[in-house]
Structure 1
Amino acid sequence: MALFLVFLMKGAPGYRFSYTDLVVGMYTFAVSYSEFLASDYSDAQNLMFTELTSVLFPYIFAKSLIEPFNSRYDFAKSIVLCLSAVFLMNLFENKMGYNLWNVYLGMFFPGQGQGWITTFRFGLARAAGPYGHCLIDGIIMAVGYRLQRWLQWSDAWPHKIKQLAWVPLVTPAQLFTLMILGGALSTLGKGQWLAGIIAAGIVIIGRSKKRGAAMTTVLSVMIFVGIPLLIAFLNYASVGRINATDDNQETAAYRYELVAEYMDVASDNLWWGWGLMKWPKVDGFESIDNHFLLAYLNHGVIAVTLLLIIIFGMMGRLIIHGMSRPVTEPRGGSLAFTLAAIYLMYFIAVATVAMMYQSSTLFFIITGLSESYLRTSTWDGEQGDGKIKSIPDTRKFKFKKVL
C-alpha cells in the first residue's frame, strides 16, 4: 500500500491506460462486491483490501515498471534466483517432512502458518516451500521453469558466474534450469506436471523456424491425441469413488463428482455467488479442488467470466503477436510464446486446485507484464549475454531491489 501511494505521488511512472485495466478492475470489484452482498461491510472491506494488494496493485506495478524500463530480464532472474533458494529448502522438506520456512520465519508471523498441512506421496513429503501448500508451490515453480527456459534460450545469463565457478559440467543457465525443474518435481503435484507438459506445446511453436507448420502440428496432436485422452479420462473418472480401484482413480472420481454436486448449488446464486467460503456444503465434498468452480460458488458467474476473459484473451493476443513477429535469434527468445504457455499452464492447473495466495498474485503480475509487453515492446530476443539494453534511470532513491 505504501509503495502504491509513492508510485502515485511520483506520477505513476511507466503506466499507460488500456482496456485490460478495466477487466482486472472489474474482477477485483466483482469479488469484493459479491462478499458485500453475501455478508456485511467488514468482511467485504477485508476482502477488498486483499484484492487490491494481491491483485490490482501487483498488476499495475508489473505493467508499469517492467517493460517500460526494459527490466524483463531483471524481473525473470529475480524469480529464478528466489525459487532456486526455495528448491534447496524443498529438498530438506521432502526428506524430513519439516518446513523450515514455517518453523523459523513463522516466529516473526505468529499464527499465520497454523493451517499448513504437510501431505505425502510416494513415501516423500510434498514440499510446500514458503507458500503454505504444495500445490501452490507447484504452480509457482512451473511459472519459474518457463521463465528460466526463456532466459536460457535468450542467453540472458553469463556463461560464467564467480559464485558458481565450483559447479562442474553445467553452465549457470543449465544449473538454474535443473534447480527450478527439481523444485517443480519436489512438490509431487501431478496436475501441475501435466499442465506444464501440455503448455510446452506453445513454446515449441515459438522455438520453431516454421511456426505455421509447428502450430498445425501442435494443434493436430491436441485434437487427435488430446480428445481421445480426454474421453478416456472422463470414462476413468466417472466410475465413482466407490468403484475406484486405486487412490489415483478415487482422486479423479472425486473431482468429477465435485462439479456435478455443486453446479446446482452455484446456480442458485448465479450472478454474485454465496460469498467467500459460505456456500452450502455438500456432505463428502468439503474441498473444492477446482478454482473455476470455487470462484463460481464464491463470487458468481461474473467473476468467473472475467477471469476466463483474462486467461484466454491474453493467451490469444500473445500467440497472435508472436506469430506476427520475425523469428528471433536465438530461437526461443520470444517472450510472447513463453507468456502464452504460462496462461495455458494456469488454466489446466487451477482446474484441479484453487488459485490462491501467492499463485494468484503471480498470475496478475504475469498479466501486467503481458499487457505492457503487447502494447510497448519493440524488441524481442536479441539482447544476449552482455548485450542487454537498458534505459538510463537518473531518478534518485529509485526502488530497484526485489524482496
Structure 2
Amino acid sequence: MSKIIDNPFPTKYPGIMVVITAKKKGNKWYLTGKLKNTSGKTLTGYQPCTRTAKTADDLIICKEIVFTLESKLQSKKQSTADKDADNTVPVSPAGEKIQMAFEKVKAMDPKKIHGAWSRSTAVTARKYFERNILKVLIRCAEESYTQETSIRIQGRIRDIFRASKSGDSEAEDRTVFRHLQEAEKIYRCMDSQSEEPLPIFDFDFDTPNRNRKEQFKSFSQEDRLKIVDILKEMIANKPMVVKRMVAMFDAGLRTGEACAVQFENIREEVTPTGIRYGLYCVEGQEDPANKGKVTKLLKTANAYRTVLFSSWGYGMICRCNQLAPETPSDTLPVTSAALCKEFRGIMEGIGITPQNIQLCWQENGGPKIELTASSVLLDAQISDYILRRDRASRWKTSAA
C-alpha cells in the first residue's frame, strides 16, 4: 500500500518543493521525500530522504524530511559557491604560506601531528581539515584574527553537519567544538612546520562541552546482580543472545562487535590459582551498510584489540556454546537490532526505562535522546552506551 501525501511541502528555495510518498510495510509507514520543481520534475543529483513513521501523515516526520532535503540543497549550493570563489579569487601571499605549511603536515607521519592522537584519529582529522576548513583559512588569510572569520569557519562546519543529519542543536554544537579543537591542533602543527609565522586564527568556541559533567555510566550493584540473574534465566531459551549480551556486559564490546564475535576463537587462560578466563581478539563487527553481515572494518584503529572475559563471563559463554554451538559465517545469527531489543527488555525488567536513562543523562550534562527517534535507534543508543560504560566503570572502580 502506498500513497502520495497531499499538498507538496514548499522549501525556502523558490520553485523547489518536497513531494513525500508514504508506503506501508507491516505495521510501519516508510515516508520518502524527493525534491521536485514546480512542474513536478524530480531534481537530479539529490538522493531521496526516507524516514519511518507510525502513520502516513506524521507531520513531524514530514518536516524532518523537508529539513534534511533543504540542508542538502544548501550544502550543494554552498559547495558550488566555494568552487566559484576558489576559481575567481586569487590566493594571497599569506594564503600561500598556509597552503605550503599544510602540504608539509600532509607529508608527515599522522601520529606526529598531535601526540595524544592515534593514527586513525589524526588521519580522519586531517582529511576533514583539508576538505572543509583549509580553503576557508586560505581565503581569509588576510583577515586573520577576526570574529567574522571565526563565524565563517564555524558556519562551514555547521553546514556540513546539517546536510547529513537532522536538526539536533546539541549534537551540532558538540560537532563544531570537536572539529575546532582538531583544527587548532593541526594549525599549530602547520605553524611549527612553516618557515615564517602563519596568520593567527580564532578556533575558540564558547560551549558547555568544556565543562560537561560525567554522564550516566554505571548500574547500581543491585541492578547488576539482577541483570546477571536475568541472563542466567535466558540461557535455556536464548543462548545466542545471552553470549552476545555477555560480550558487551563483561568484555565491553560494542553492539555490532558483539554480534560478530567468533566464540570458538575465545582463548581459554588459567590463573596460577586455577581460575579460568577468556581472551578474545576483536576483528569484526556487523556491517553498518549491510545489516546482518560481517565486516572486518572496525570503527577505529584502536578497535582492533584484545578483550578479557572474566571467569563469570567465560563460564557463561561456555554454557551457551554447549547449548548453541556456532560455525563461522558471514551472516549473523543475531543482529544488533535484535540484540538491542532484547537488552531493552532486560532494562525494563529491572525497572529502568529509556525515559529514566534519558532524564539521568540530561541532568548530568549528557546528550539528549530524541523522542521522535525510531525504537531501533533508541535501543541502540541505550544498549551500546550503558552496557559498555558500566563495564568500564566497574573496572575503574576495582582498579582504584
Q: TM-score under structure 1 normalisation?
A: 0.22
Higher normalized helix content (fraction of residues): 1
Structure with max Cα Rg: 2
More contact order relative to length (CA 8 Å, sep ≥ 6): 1
Q: TM-score under structure 2 normalisation?
A: 0.22
